[in-house]
Each structure stands twice: as C-alpha cells, then as structure tokens.
Chains A and B, each alone.
Chain A
Amino acid sequence: AQSVAQPEDQVNVAEGNPLTVKCTYSVSGNPYLFWYVQYPNRGLQFLLKYITGDNLVKGSYGFEAEFNKSQTSFHLKKPSALVSDSALYFCAVRGLYGQNFVFGPGTRLSVLP
C-alpha cells in the first residue's frame, strides 16, 4: 500500500530565509512524487514532480525538491522564502501502475515578514 507522511503540521520561517517542507513516502516499486500548494479557498496548484533521473527537481515559483531513495524522502525547498509562499503544501505519491494519488496530510507554511 502507498502512504505519504508529512511530519510537520506547521512550518514557520522568516522571509528571506531558506525553507524546507518535509515528505516521506512508502510505495511498492519506483515512486512518482508530486508537490502541490493550496492557497485559502482555492484548488491545488501543481509545483513539481519527480519521475526519474536527476534527484533535484526544479519547479514553479522557485521551488525545488530533492528525491532521496535511501531515506524515502522528497523534501520541498526554496532558497529564499516570500510572505506570499504562505499556504498549505501537500506531498503526493503515485505508484508505477497508475494507482491513484495518495496525499500526505499537508503542512501549513507561514512565512513571517
């Protein structure tokens, strides 16, 4: 069975500082990993995904994520946080055979001015 954990309910970071939102996963076979962001009362916006290849994936709005197979992690990062990055972030995993997305519980990011 597939599962995703986001160990932090809330992450607070000062504007201009680097941010990390953590994600670990469990899936049979090779994982396909995704990050989405959700602003209040809005749908989910796709940020980036890992399929294969380079472990560092670059996505929208300056975000990137690092895939670590040995630690089964896919942490989301940004070198310099903006107040406008404050939102709810979801990690999701999908298995090799197209099983449906399994979302993590979400992490609320607050960037403080």
Chain B
Amino acid sequence: DTEVTQTPKHLVMGMTNKKSLKCEQHMGHRAMYWYKQKAKKPPELMFVYSYEKLSINESVPSRFSPECPNSSLLNLHLHALQPEDSALYLCASSQEPTGGTDTQYFGPGTRLTVL
C-alpha cells in the first residue's frame, strides 16, 4: 500500500484564521514533505522532515508552521495567511530521507483558498 492521506480536501479561511492541514502515512516511511503547488505549475518544496526532525525549511514564511508529532503524521499549521497563499498543498513521504533512489509518494492534496 502506497497511500498518503490528507485532510481536509478543501479549506477556505480568512486572513485572521488559524487552521491546520493533516497528512498521514502508514508505510513506515521516515521522510515526510510539504509542497505548495500553484495551478499548472510544478510542486515547490516547503519543508522536509527526516526521522521526525525538521531537516529542510525552504525559506517559508513563519505563517506556515510544520509539525511532526510522530513518524506517521505531519501537520501544517496556518496562521495569518495571505490570498497569495491559496494553492494546492501536497504532502509526500519516502522511505529514507537521503536515498537518491527513493520514490516520493504523494497524497491527494488540500485545496486551500484564503479570502
């Protein structure tokens, strides 16, 4: 089973709201990723968690706050977002964080709209 699940599927929030995106995998993968994808563009890496520790933060604004409570779960906490943050947010996981041959498996994404 190569399934990564994400909730919610859709989220609409105001600029003053606080919300969270959730991602889960039960494949025993030790690396988890957050990507942001604008329409018709490739995914852009935001964060990488390696063995439950944040290993890469691609200069993402502090209004995005990732959290990895355990090896199966990944959250993205959102606060004071801007309309330009509206996008599809994708979670992915892979078996080993430093394995060049490793395949990343993606979840279906959360479509975020910031009003």
User: Which residues of A are interface residues toward B (Cβ below 8 A)?
Assistant: 32, 34, 36, 41-46, 49, 51, 88, 90, 94-101, 103-106, 108
Interface extent on B, as a size class?
Answer: 20 to 34
Closest to A51 in B: B101
- Knowing that A43-B109, A44-B43, A97-B98 touch, tell me 7 more A-B residue pairs with CB under 8 angstroms: A43-B107, A44-B90, A44-B106, A45-B106, A49-B101, A105-B41, A106-B40
> Judging by beta carbons under 8 Å apart, are A100 and B106 in contact?
no
A60 to B100, CA, bound (A): 21
- Max chain B C-beta neighbours (<10 A), residue from A41, A97, A104: A41
> Judging by beta carbons under 8 Å apart, are B108 and A43 in contact?
yes
> Judging by beta carbons under 8 Å apart, are A100 and B45 in contact?
yes
Closest to B31 in A: A98
A94 to B41, CA, bound (A): 19
A-contact bits for B6-21, CB 8 A (1 contact / 0 none): 1000000000000000
Chain B: interface secondary structure? loop
| Selected contact of B103 from candidates A34, A43, A97, CB within 8 Å | A34
- Which chain B positions have C-beta within 8 A of A49? 101, 103
> Judging by beta carbons under 8 Å apart, are B111 and A95 in contact?
no
Closest to B101 in A: A51
> Judging by beta carbons under 8 Å apart, are B103 and A90 in contact?
no
A96 to B45, CA, bound (A): 19
Which residues of chain B in 67-115 are interfacial with respect to chain A, using CB atoms and an 8 Å cutoff? Answer: 88, 90, 92, 96-109, 111
> Judging by beta carbons under 8 Å apart, are B42 and A106 in contact?
yes
Give chain B nearest CB distance to A49 CB in angstroms.
Answer: 6
A51 to B100, CA, bound (A): 9
